[in-house]
Amino acid sequence: MANFNRFGAGVVSALVALGLPVQPVLAAKAKVDQPENILPEAQIPVPAEPAPAGTQAPQGAPAAPASSPASPDVQTVSNPVVQQLFVAEPVMSWSLADAKALLQTIGYIGKEGLIPADYQPAALKAAIAGGEGDALDTLASKVFGWLIEDLRDGRTPMKDRVQWFAVDPDQDTMPTAQVMAQALSEHDVPGVVAKLAPTNPDYAALKAEFNATPVADKAKRALIQANMDRWRWLRQDLGEVYLITNIPEFQLRLVVKNKIIRTYKTVVGKPGRTATPQLAETVSAVVFNPTWTVPQSIVKGEGLGAKVLANPGWAKAAGYKAVKGGDGTVYVVQQPGPTNSLGLMKIDMPNEHAIYLHDTPSKQYFNRDVRAFSHGCIRTERAVELGMTMAILGAQMPATEAADISRSGKYTKVDMTRTFPVYLTYFTYARSIDGELKPFDDLYGRDKPVLDSFAAPRELKTTQRKSDEEVIQLDNPL
């Protein structure tokens, strides 16, 4: 109990120091219709009640925004996989002074890891020489629209973002037409452009490193450039409180007001079909002493169901219970306990991939340098500590109460009364948990498509918001 009390006091002190309220009364078990949302911009809807353990909890991606006065028109393009729309930039009136400011801004955009030639500076210069009118309006609007899209959403085409399912809402909260109108009404193209880049300090660190790297070091500059773009794939402001894991680093961070207050080693998915996808989801609950409903791929495919039914003594010792349905289907549930495959804690973050963060009884894997052993979910070091922190932050639960629940041995679900995001990301050049900028191994081979896209001409944007690759349900902690 002393260890739990020391931890609880430490977390509470850290949160108070960072200016976050910590309720002294028990609030974790109280149901609320709509949790307080502390996500940035409060734009993401509160998630639905998660499905029972072992079942799919689908979460649809936000639909592409319809054309409106605040968003550019779109043109349909046929695609064999999904119906996509090419984005057509709005056309607005440009003064010569604003057009010249745009040309100058394009000239300096290389400092953001983008490519000035993408935005047709020679053609824009010629249009400026031709004076104000339709030709200048059309060209300046088009290239400025491209620049807004690339800084806000990333230059990399969606087809080159392997296993990318983290839908970025920035184009909804900062529509191209509104950004352009603001720049022209304020006659401040460079000022408005400067506000489009990611606000995370790790992006600023990459930008500084990119600009300090000699042009002759093409490989390093290209790698940094690709990873700067990965930050643009995410929402501009990640929020006040969030969890973020960098898959190739095998680390999870709890971040409060841009300060890392806890880090945890992770075990991630094995390369191939069990690779961990890139997601941006919402923590809905913490489950202490979880059960695990075993997937049918193991119950039937690996014969676990028959083994449990035929060996009741072994099944009891292993914590398995089985029932046979009327159609003959065997269902197996592993009961709470230290040998449970989910360990003693699970963080619910409903998503169509059935990915979540959880504890593990196989602690030895945290001692490996390369920790890619799971079926996709994120196994987390010191998971009970993390769960207690989530209960304090998200359900205003006192640390002592969270400690008692975690040690009870009983399945207990603590619903969040304040929601916050969790990001599963993939950076191969980034700041490590000790603050050092460094490369990480390309665990899943996701760099090449991004690097190749930067070496090729810029592609027109479509309304596609995430990868159209197969969604592989990976609800298997083994």
Domains and CATH numbers, the chain: 23-40+240-291+336-431 (2.40.440.10), 71-237+446-478 (no CATH), 296-334 (no CATH)
Question: Per residue in 151-189, pLDDT tens?
Answer: 999 999 999 999 999 999 999 999 999 999 999 999 999
Cβ–Cβ < 8 Å for 358, 476: no
> What's the pLDDT score for residue 473?
77
pLDDT at 102: 98
Structure confidence at residue 107 (pLDDT): 97
The pTM of this model reads 0.83
As a whole number of Å, the CA-based R_g of the chain is 25
Q: What is the pLDDT of residue 471?
A: 87
Cβ atoms of 379 and 360 closer than 8 Å: yes
Helix (H) or strand (E) holding 353: none
Q: How far apart are CA 314 and CA 444, in angstroms?
A: 38
Which amino acid would we find at residue 373?
Answer: F
pLDDT at 57: 35
pLDDT reading at 26 higher than 50 = no
Q: What is the pLDDT of residue 477?
A: 58
Q: For residue 401, is pLDDT > 70?
A: yes
Q: Tell whether the model's pLDDT for residue 413 goes beyond 90.
A: yes
Tell me, what's the pLDDT at 54? 36
Question: What are 15's two structure tokens?
Answer: 């949160």
For 241-267, the pLDDT digits (tens) are: 999 999 999 999 999 999 999 999 999
Q: What is the rounded CA–CA span in Å between residue 336 and residue 13?
A: 31
- Both tokens assigned to 305: 């169901």
Q: Dump pLDDT digits (tens) for 31-77.
A: 333 444 444 433 322 223 333 333 333 333 333 333 333 344 444 44
Q: What is the pLDDT of residues 295-346, one digit of tens each?
A: 888 898 889 999 999 999 999 988 999 998 889 899 999 999 988 999 999 9
E strand or H helix at 152, and its extent?
helix 134-153
